[in-house]
Structure 1
């Protein structure tokens, strides 16, 4: 895959990959020539305003027949992948943006700075319905259902679509876009996803999920779980291994891409 990503970058194409819907890092995502998209949990208020945004790493607590069960991130809550590569060293575009504390890894008993993942993020649960048809034990088709969850496989095309919007009308392609994204880190082009803390209002720390036709028990979705048995990733101010440099800030993101590319290209 590395050879394909290098060729794409040389031809002016960005290869976007989902960070995955479980904690951890794959070799494909750790490729320094890949644009890797993680996930966030976005809280939207009654006035359709942004109430909070944090890393997508949800612990699921289930209540069934009076018994409470902690299913964890991998057991049903879900969360974006990420971490530090032990194959690829830190690329130049991440220097000065990714803290050393988030890039350290052990290779052959030596501490080195590796390629950190993801690069950018988007909310993987909001705004789209995914349809599927049930099958019974004999393989016969059943009812058609829709659910509003799609994971980082949704977050990735959302980011790619915004980049395509910014590309419209430009005379030259962005090419491999990671260097430009990291030059725009800590600017208004991005929203910084912040961790859930004890000062966060209780109503913003978790969500009640009522039983429905896809679930027979009531659940509580606890946001931004940081349990070591589940994940070694963290959500933090600035770059982090849950959400990268942040989420695109709509029109400001598109405008910043256009200005940044124009300036860098000397146009």
Structure 2
């Protein structure tokens, strides 16, 4: 058999307070996802995405799924070599997704151990138990340039949902309905979303890594709201499925929040919910499945799950970022929550951190505000920061460089030692404070919920409206948003507050223009639509 070499970026370390229990049963059946290079297509794809980004939305010609597969998928010879590798080690090829560059292999644990030179074991942690390994994955040396990542060996929980309950089991009261909290439609009105738009031809994809929804809750919610009920489609990914737990304080709250907000502000929209396991392999497959879904064809994807960049393996970040790049070529806008733990992102090492996937330069990162308004008019809007009860994520990426389209946004250097210049997070913002949160119905109970998890579907709904109005997908929208001037009045500029949630790490402050708390600001939907559809203006820029 071939010599094996270390797969760079695949290293796994033992989480703090975790301990090994015992080795995995050698006969246990395990599936892994092998992520393949697409080097030949990568530079061409990058050029194409850059050219698309420069064009007015109405003139963009994105690739069809068939065109993408023919031109930018994994090389058939590379796939053949992976199949030969699987055969050599007694593994089966379960699935090949050439456009996404993934091959799923399965086999007994002892065969997996031998193929990737790992020692799979069961580990115990105070918060979870998992199967995994320590150290790097190893691959045959002749596959070194072909295999970019191996996912699924380690199945520890990868991401957390970014939502916060307001007084967890509090019922709606008369004063809440009109004051402290809002129906999603009331938030849309405060942000001047275009009204009376039938979004039944649009599809929003939701990535969910646990929990589920009850159809009777969705029906009751939209009936009471007086808004057309969404068309819901459940898609099982890697064994994930719609399984409500009955506890809205867990993943159920996330799933329902996403659906109810997005569909409330984009009436009649089709919502495709991709249920997957909360692992790096599950998360990656959910994203690639949604992006390359030729049946439902979501033009917007909302992701309210994430984790600090430092808690991801390099191979995971690389593979998911490539998937978001693919989305840009296909005309899919990806909206991601920026996190709920302020500038530290919940990492207690004295440094600032940003959340991934929000930090990917190919997604629209969504930060949070505290929104106060009445009768359709905003009275005050500041950075969401309730201290230890939650604050908007935001800052400077330790992984991604400053994108070209952010160069004129006066993105500050990182507050960490070294003052790195990198991708600034977030890009945009919206109401996220649970104190001024959203009224939702989950597991038969009514709640008020906030968190940046609410902002991703809020923006996804707005993008769906924009797509309906321009008659085609907007796609990768970030470069256009950063071209808009203050005269366009497309954003409410948030200039008060910071995201220091601990008084220990330092933080970023709001200011005029872009900042690392609320990005460009919260939306003025009508003005944003007008600015984005004004082709002549953008052609002259």
What's the CA shift for 1:225? 6.2
Distance in 2 separating the partners of 1:251 and 1:122? 15
What's the CA shift for 1:172? 4.0
Distance in 2 separating the partners of 1:162 and 1:22? 25
5+ long unaligned stretches in structure 1: 59-72, 134-143, 197-222
> What SS class does the counterpart of residue 234 from structure 1 fall into?
coil
Task: Check 1:185–1:87 CA distance in 2 against 1; reply closer, same or farther (3 A cut).
Answer: farther
Instruction: Specify the alignment match of 1:40 in structure 2.
Output: 369
Larger Rg: 2
Instruction: Specify the alignment match of 1:193 in structure 2.
Output: 494
Distance in 2 separating the partners of 1:85 and 1:166? 29
Tell me the matched-pair count: 208
Which digits, 9 at most, give the CA deviation of each residue in 1:34-90, with x for residues without a partner? 110011111114x442111111112xxxxxxxxxxxxxx23x2x1111110111110
Contact 1:105 1:113 in 2 (8 A): no
Distance in 2 separating the partners of 1:232 and 1:127? 24
More strand as a share of residues: 1
What is the aligned-residue RMSD (CA, Å)?
Answer: 2.6
Q: Which aligned segments of 4 or more residues in structure 1 are displaced greater than 6 angstroms? A: 223-226
Distance in 1 separating the partners of 2:415 and 2:509? 15
Contact 1:105 1:114 in 2 (8 A): no
What's the CA shift for 1:170? 2.5
Task: Check 1:254–1:231 CA distance in 2 against 1; reply closer, same or farther (3 A cut).
Answer: farther
Equivalent residue for 1:92, pick from 387, 395, 404: 404
Matched, 1:13 2:332: yes
What's the CA shift for 1:185? 4.7
Instruction: Specify the alignment match of 1:209 in structure 2.
Output: none
> What SS class does the counterpart of residue 168 from structure 1 fall into?
helix
Matched, 1:120 2:420: no
Describe how 1:160-239 pairs up with structure 2 within 5 A.
Answer: 160-186=460-486, 187-195=488-496, 228-229=503-504, 232-239=507-514
Contact 1:166 1:254 in 2 (8 A): yes
The TM-score normalised by the length of structure 1 is 0.69
Distance in 1 separating the partners of 2:499 and 2:336? 22
> What SS class does the counterpart of residue 42 from structure 1 fall into?
strand
Matched, 1:154 2:454: yes
Distance in 2 separating the partners of 1:154 and 1:53? 16
Distance in 1 separating the partners of 2:396 and 2:499? 19
Contact 1:54 1:224 in 2 (8 A): no
Instruction: Specify the alignment match of 2:341 in structure 1.
Output: 22
The TM-score normalised by the length of structure 2 is 0.36
Worse-superposed segment, 35-44 or 182-191: 182-191
Distance in 2 separating the partners of 1:118 and 1:179? 14
More helix as a share of residues: 2
